[in-house]
Amino acid sequence: MQELMCLGSAYIAGLIASRLSFPPLVGYLLAGYVLNLLNVEIMHNLAHLAEIGIELLLFTVGLKLKLSSLLRREVLSVGGLHLLIVSGISGAVFFGLGEKVTGALILGASLAFSSTVLAIKVLEDNGDLSSLYGRDVLSILILQDIVAIALLAIAEGKQPTFWALGLLLLPLLRPIAHFLLNISRAEELRLLFGVSLALVGGFIAESVSISSDIGALLTGIMLASHPKSDDLAQKLWGLKEILLVAFFLQIGLTDLPTRQDISEALQLLLLLPLQGVLFFVLFLFSGLRARTAFVSSLALMTYSEFALITTDAMVTAQLLSADWKAIISLAVAGSLAVAAPLNRYSNQIFSRLEPYLSQLEKKSGNPDRLPESIGMAEWLVVGMGRTGVAAYLTLLKEDKRVVGLDSDPIVLEKVLRKGLRVVYGDAEDSELWDRLPLKRLKGVVLTMQEFEIRTKTVKQLRHKGFSGQIGTICLHAEEKQSLERMGADFVIHPQYEAGCQLAKQLMS
């Protein structure tokens, strides 16, 4: 019965939160507080499930950890300076409020972290996870996660045994781990292997008096270079999210906030815009354009779930007073509630502020600079995945002057190696369509997967006065009418067309 009440209340609260455009996490925390008010007993295994969820979180962080992505200028300068500035100022303030030095510094650093869950969800929903700014945001989040893990180890205060040095030998087991993942061809086997490896890493680390989270991270790093690491991380994402529900429920079930706690949490929320402004300024100094800096800053303008984990560990170690658990949980939940709608409309918000913010950016040397010219091209293919490349090559065979456009640096590099003409550009960026010579173009082909981006692009092209042909794809039947209503001339369903062509080829 306890399990049903906990899971049922978490689902209902999470559903209400999501319908109100808030992250479900906000609902889970509120569900915990409601169950606490109703004097519902805590499930005896809730804490254990929460620990597994955190281990899987760290394991997936390890899967994404690639050294090359962390050594870029934007990541080190923006992520590193932001951590130092916020940690230093916040730590000094908390120390002045009477907290212990170690607790104050760790708490200050915890508030410099951004929500990995919300940022990745926003990037996925907007189709920007592989874009230039998406990769920068993800790399900064991973850098923050690494620092958070180090702080967690300090907060827990465990003294490693001599055998802890053996953890440095884990990379030697990489060939075995890669071999096991290769032979696990069934999807459920890969999922089971990932969970098992995370728990094995946690068990080994705990046996030598090191946090189980660090062990899970190290085993994740072992698979980071594997071609299927991203696929494994995606499979673990849903399971990890379900188990983390136990962590958020546990917070509400353990501590109810007082009026003073709520007041202090609101004060922390009032400081959140300063975090966004600091990120924006640092991104501009690193050379990014105002739009890229703005949407990146909004994605990072939250307090992190790791702040809850580190605060819980510090309270347990008596480095902080117990009331900080309730304060930080409210601040984290509030920051996610504020950030979710802002990120949903980030491009619209920037379009209103663009005349003012664009004056602050550097005028040259931007890694995300817009194309100055597309030469004599008369056809533009937006989105250079498999469909986009096929459209490009077809136009090329018909002796059409064509150029491709994509916002993913890795895709650009791959396509350029094939000898195709392609330039960087984000289809959602209104400034891009202001710069391109639309009157010269005869047609634009849109092959992006995200329906919202396709509709926005068609709308922007027609709004900018483009009178040429617009061809695009639809992945669902109901999308076709919307795209045509926006101004698309030709819309096809790739799978439907593939079936038609296959039948025609067989009959011929």
487 with 442, same domain: the answer is yes
Mean pLDDT value across residues 173-186: 87
Residue with the larger pLDDT of the pair 160 and 292: 292
Residue at 469 is within a domain? yes
231 with 169, same domain: the answer is yes
Cα gap 107→310, rounded to integer Å: 8
Mean pLDDT value across residues 171-192: 86
Q: Which of 497, 460, 110 is nearest to 275 (CA)?
A: 110
Residue at 369 is within a domain? no
pLDDT band at 124 (very low <50, low <70, confident <90, very high): low
What is the per-residue pLDDT for 66? 67
304 touches 444 (CB < 8 A): no
Residue at 374 is within a domain? no
What is the per-residue pLDDT for 444? 94
85 with 163, same domain: the answer is yes
pTM of the model: 0.71
Residue with the larger pLDDT of the pair 508 and 440: 440
349 with 451, same domain: the answer is no
The residue among 312, 328, 360 that closes a domain is 360
183 with 308, same domain: the answer is yes
Mean pLDDT value across residues 263-292: 88
Mean pLDDT value across residues 396-418: 88
208 with 338, same domain: the answer is yes
Q: What is the CATH number of the domain that holds 15?
A: 1.20.1530.20
Q: Which amino acid is at 153?
A: A
Q: Which amino acid is at 265?
A: A
Helices H / strands E in the chain, number of each = 25, 6
The residue among 298, 329, 360 that closes a domain is 360
Q: What percent of the chain has pLDDT over 70?
A: 91
303 touches 108 (CB < 8 A): no
Mean pLDDT lowest among 187-191, 272-276, 342-346: 342-346
Residue at 298 is within a domain? yes
Spatial CB neighbours of 363, under 8 Å, sequence gap ≥ 6: none
Q: Does the structure show a pLDDT above 90 at 331?
A: no
Residue at 169 is within a domain? yes
Q: Which of 160, 134, 126, 179 is nearest to 409 (CA)?
A: 134
Residue at 210 is within a domain? yes
Structural domain containing residue 45: 2-360
What is the per-residue pLDDT for 491? 92
Residue at 158 is within a domain? yes
Mean pLDDT lowest among 167-176, 188-197, 349-358, 383-392: 167-176
What is the per-residue pLDDT for 390? 92
Kindly write down the DSSP assignment for every residue of 273-311, as one continuous string: HHHHHHHHHHHHHTT--HHHHHHHHHHH-S--HHHHHHH
Q: Does the structure show a pLDDT above 70 at 367?
A: no
Q: What are phi and psi of 269, to 5 degrees?
A: -65, -35
251 with 118, same domain: the answer is yes
Q: What is the CATH number of the domain that holds 493?
A: 3.40.50.720
Mean pLDDT lowest among 75-84, 189-198, 208-217: 208-217
pLDDT band at 258 (very low <50, low <70, confident <90, very high): confident
The SS3 call for residue 382 is strand
**CA pseudo-torsion sign 118, 121, 126, 127:** positive
Mean pLDDT lowest among 39-48, 226-235, 283-292, 372-381: 39-48
Q: Does the structure show a pLDDT above 90 at 133?
A: no
The rounded mean pLDDT for the chain is 82
244 with 298, same domain: the answer is yes
450 with 346, same domain: the answer is no
441 with 329, same domain: the answer is no
pLDDT band at 160 (very low <50, low <70, confident <90, very high): low
Cα gap 492→504, rounded to integer Å: 17
Q: Does the structure show a pLDDT above 90 at 470?
A: yes
Q: Does the structure show a pLDDT above 70 at 245?
A: yes
Tokens of 173: 């087991």
Cα gap 387→492, rounded to integer Å: 12
The residue among 309, 330, 360 that closes a domain is 360
CA distances from 447 to 282, 331, 455, 473, 493 (A): 33, 40, 11, 6, 11
Count of the separate structural domains present in the chain: 2
**CA pseudo-torsion sign 197, 201, 202, 206:** positive
Residue at 367 is within a domain? no
Mean pLDDT value across residues 419-440: 84
Cα gap 314→307, rounded to integer Å: 10
Q: What 8-state DSSP symbol labels residue 77? A: I
Cα gap 278→284, rounded to integer Å: 10
454 with 326, same domain: the answer is no
353 with 484, same domain: the answer is no
Parallel, antiparallel, or unpaired: how do β-strands 469-473 and 490-492 relate?
parallel
